[in-house]
Structure 1
């Protein structure tokens, strides 16, 4: 694998992270430390907002599959999206949840961790399989 091919997944990851930032943390509420993104704003549209916000979230999963993310990781990412979507459908409670849950950022962090584990130099990793769940806290 040449250097250009090794960098391509990380370029795609950077684009995924930019989309995730825009969807989850694009704006800061004045006089607070609360950040929200287009996902929260679009989610305010009753009935269709949360469904519209699925498009960029599913694009992130699609790109992850194109990069080669394993099925268990993709399933976890889809689970994050599902939780965000289902709870986001609830009036008011869902809107508040959207501000804090940030499924796109969680999924981008999961993908970054997997990519870094996959592309680390031989002998620098651990013998234990990576725990993708711990990336959710990021």
Structure 2
């Protein structure tokens, strides 16, 4: 599977507080960027985020990363995603957390497996189908 490598965009603090699909989409996208693509590692040009960095801290880091990933699932629940999609998203977070908890191997796994990006993709597909007005043309 090939993933589109996107360059990190500057983080902004103007996230909407609304409960409408556009606001929720923007918050989920911001959280995914924070967790998966906050900055680029020099030399290898690989985007990395808090999920991989916090995961380096034994036990506590994995719990924090799991909680932040669960936030995306909670926001998806607020959008009204079907239970099977929510379970799939929760499974991505649980799998990432379980394997990420293994010392050394789990840290490498966190660097490669991007559960939050996968969950964002699930949310975007749902929104594009059920709330087409929430689409954002990225350029």
User: Quick check: TM above 0.5?
Assistant: yes
Partner residue in 2 for 1:59? 71
Partner residue in 1 for 2:131? 119
Query: Following the alignment from structure 2 to structure 1, what is the Cα–Cα distance between the partners of residues 132 and 64?
Result: 36
- The Cα RMSD (Å) is 1.5
Question: Is it true that 1:32 corresponds to 2:54 in the alignment?
Answer: no
Runs (4+) of structure 1 moved beyond 2 Å?
none
1:91 to 99, 103, 128: 103
Structure 1 or 2: more helix by fraction: 1
Query: Following the alignment from structure 2 to structure 1, what is the Cα–Cα distance between the partners of residues 59 and 104?
Result: 12
Query: Following the alignment from structure 2 to structure 1, what is the Cα–Cα distance between the partners of residues 30 and 61?
Result: 21
Structure showing greater Rg: 1
Deviation string 1:115-138 (CA, Å, 9 cap, x unpaired) is 1111249xxxxxxxxxxxxxxxxx
Query: Following the alignment from structure 1 to structure 2, what is the Cα–Cα distance between the partners of residues 14 and 110?
Result: 14
**TM-score of the pair, normalised by structure 1:** 0.78
1:13 to 25, 35, 38: 25
Aligned residues: 115
**TM-score of the pair, normalised by structure 2:** 0.78
Unaligned 5+ residue runs, structure 2? 1-18, 134-139
